[in-house]
Structure 1
Amino acid sequence: MTSQTHHPLNKMLLKLGIVILIGLLALAFQNISPPPPKLCGTPDGPPVTGPRVILRDGRHLAYNEYGVSRHTANYKIVFVHGFNSGRFDASVYHPELFEELKIYMVTFDRPGHGESDPDPKRTIKSLALDIEELADKLELGSKFYVIGYSMGQQGSWGSLKYIPHRLKGVALIAPVVNYWWSSFPTNVSFEAYKLQPLQDQWAVGVSHYVPWLVYWWNTQKWFPCSSVIAGKPNFSASDWDLVAKFRAEGSPAAATAQKDYVRQQGLAESIFRDMRVGFGKWEFDPMEIRNPFPNNEGSVHLWHGDEDGLVPVSLQRYVAKKLPWIHYHELPGVGHLLPNYDGKKEAILRSLLLGED
């Protein structure tokens, strides 16, 4: 394996040196430091419209509930939303199945999103502790399920690492991968990295190597920012078919309102902080996590489509190979919007809760 100092991705340092120089020059024209967030419930901030819990450090975490009452539920799930999303993400909500199996699910705005207070010190560990504390505040019991979608993998992997004793099972759906996890062979991570559009290679590289430039990079007008932030993600054709369907059935005004809600406290502590945490230097390598269910008292599932344009399937195959205790479900002809394909919500829930494959 190539040493860390000779990792091909580190060649980005040479190019990013140019970016740093540009960023420094930009100081003469604009401030690269983001404005302070507008906290919900403060005189200059957005209003508080939904329930929130107060966490160990005084932060508020906003949440939303789906399904049957948590006091009568057979299954209790904490759902962790993806990038540029929030507590109203109903990606795995299946009304009929929730009623049939008596499922309760709580979703929450991750820190800095929607109506949850920002956490400038956010890490993978702090998010896992937020999940644990939310579950305790809502009295979900000693153990519960966690489902993370896309960038919500921060909560899923974090839970597996830091609070495995609280878990009944975990599902990772199209989880975003950090190209710099140490277990990835150089050729695997680099080849996958180069599959991304050039603008995303740069955006992710900036997030990893010069995180203090993330705000400037994604707000300046000289170079294209992340395609996802720009609203033109590298979706597969089948994903775009689903997007067209959503737009035909939904209201453009509602979609805009949801986007505004997610970002209402400011970009820096919501989607830009997400990039810094997701693609930054992790405190651990997920591929070194031990099986939290050695006696099959629970299970972990990883779902991925082979046409996912945002997260190359080659990376998930490698993760699944390194962690053979994970139940890996690779779906042909499916893109990043995996839960929205016909039958997939039910399949995800039944495999996690009932052990049906």
Structure 2
Amino acid sequence: MNTLVQGPARTGTTRLSDGRLLGWGEWGPTSGTPVLFCPGAAMSRWLGFGADVLEGLKVRLISLDRPGLGASTPAPGRGLLDWAEDVRGFAAAQGLERLPVVGYSQGAPFALACAAKGVVTGVALVAGGDELAYPALRGMLHPEVAKLVDLSAAEPARAEAFFAGMSVQMMWDMVIGMSSESDRAVFTAPRFAEAYRRALDEGFMQGSAGYARDTVLAMSRWPFDPGAIRVPVDLWYGGLDTSTVHSPDQGETLARRIPTARRQLLPQVGSALLWTHSEDILRSLLSRTG
């Protein structure tokens, strides 16, 4: 178990066919198996995971900034499936084939969109944001989350404007405030906190509109059927995860909805399991997509 974090070994941008740029950061050997990373809310390409195991696993981890975050060109009005097409264009431009993806927290629906569109060969969702607007989850939602889900459905423009009021400090305070004691111990450790804050600074570099659009999409119904996903999906949840915006039932309902899903619930960890169990997560993903 290790929470080593390092800045990306390589960074850059890739131009898509419509002229927009996608910012990216990489860790691990350039000759390794490429694994895409869809990071959490407002996290940019600057915070990866598994820095101490990538060489041994021969993994080239590639984190992408979603539009409007970090170094990626904004795309107002974009949807989840638009992100899948962005990833398709990125993979083609980079010559990447058989690309699995890891989605963390708010990055989960973006990773699943890639699976639904056939862009990736497998998915690992870690502390994944569930489809919060799915009717069966309604009674499990925290009341404040339920209000935001309703607002996103009824008045998406107003919801987006509300989320655009977020700042780096507010995001940090929200994450730490809703974290369990075990997660706070990881997130506030000096080196991790420095890396996380750097990622948020970069994520908000162009303002808050990118985060706001992501969050409206995360609070809305997904434009794809999870039941139609055919690639392997690993769901990883920590029993000590106290976030109100991940999964209210720790992925049980989502696992039933995805026919290829395999759920792992680790009782003694929280949402920081992406960093405390990086090797397990990557080994499982590689074994199912190899």
1:237 aligns with one of 175, 181, 184: 181
Contact 1:209 1:280 in 2 (8 A): no
Answering whether residue 235 of structure 2 is matched by residue 279 of structure 1, we say no
2:113 aligns with one of 147, 158, 161: 158
What is the alpha-carbon distance in structure 1 between the residues aligned to residue 280 and residue 184 of structure 2? 22
% identity of equivalent residues? 26
Q: Which runs of 5+ in 1 are unaligned?
A: 1-48, 293-298
1:116 aligns with one of 51, 67, 72: 72
Residue 205 of structure 1: aligned partner: 150
4+ long deviations beyond 4 Å: 254-257
Q: TM-score, normalised by structure 1?
A: 0.70
Residue 322 of structure 1: aligned partner: 257
Q: Which runs of 5+ in 2 are unaligned?
A: 1-9
Report the secondary structure of 1:259's partner residue.
helix
**Offset at 1:340?**
2.4
**Offset at 1:325?**
2.3
Q: Which structure has the higher relative contact order (CA within 8 Å, separation 6+)?
A: 2
Contact 2:80 2:110 in 1 (8 A): yes
RMSD of aligned Cα (Å): 2.7
**Offset at 1:280?**
2.1
**Offset at 1:108?**
1.2
What is the alpha-carbon distance in structure 2 between the residues aligned to residue 290 and residue 60 of structure 1? 28
Q: TM-score, normalised by structure 2?
A: 0.84
| Number of residue pairs aligned between Structure 1 and Structure 2 | 275
Contact 2:28 2:60 in 1 (8 A): yes
Give the stretch that moved more between structures: 275-284 or 200-209: 200-209
Task: Specify whether residues 256 and 308 from structure 1 end up closer, same or farther in structure 2 by C-alpha distance, changes over 3 A only.
Answer: closer
What is the alpha-carbon distance in structure 2 between the residues aligned to residue 121 and residue 218 of structure 1? 14
**Which string of whole-angstrom CA distances, capped at 9 and with x for unpartnered residues, describes residues 75-129 of structure 1?**
21111111010111213x333x322232112111111001100111311111011
2:207 aligns with one of 266, 269, 273: 266
What is the alpha-carbon distance in structure 1 between the residues aligned to residue 117 and residue 26 of structure 2? 24
Aligned AA for 2:237? H
Superposition map of 1:1-357 within 5 A: 50-69=11-30, 72-73=31-32, 75-91=33-49, 93-95=50-52, 97-141=53-97, 143-163=98-118, 166-181=119-134, 184-185=135-136, 189-193=137-141, 196=142, 198-218=143-163, 229=171, 231-233=173-175, 234-244=178-188, 246=189, 248-249=190-191, 256-268=197-209, 270-286=210-226, 288-292=227-231, 299-310=232-243, 311-314=246-249, 316-341=251-276, 344-355=277-288
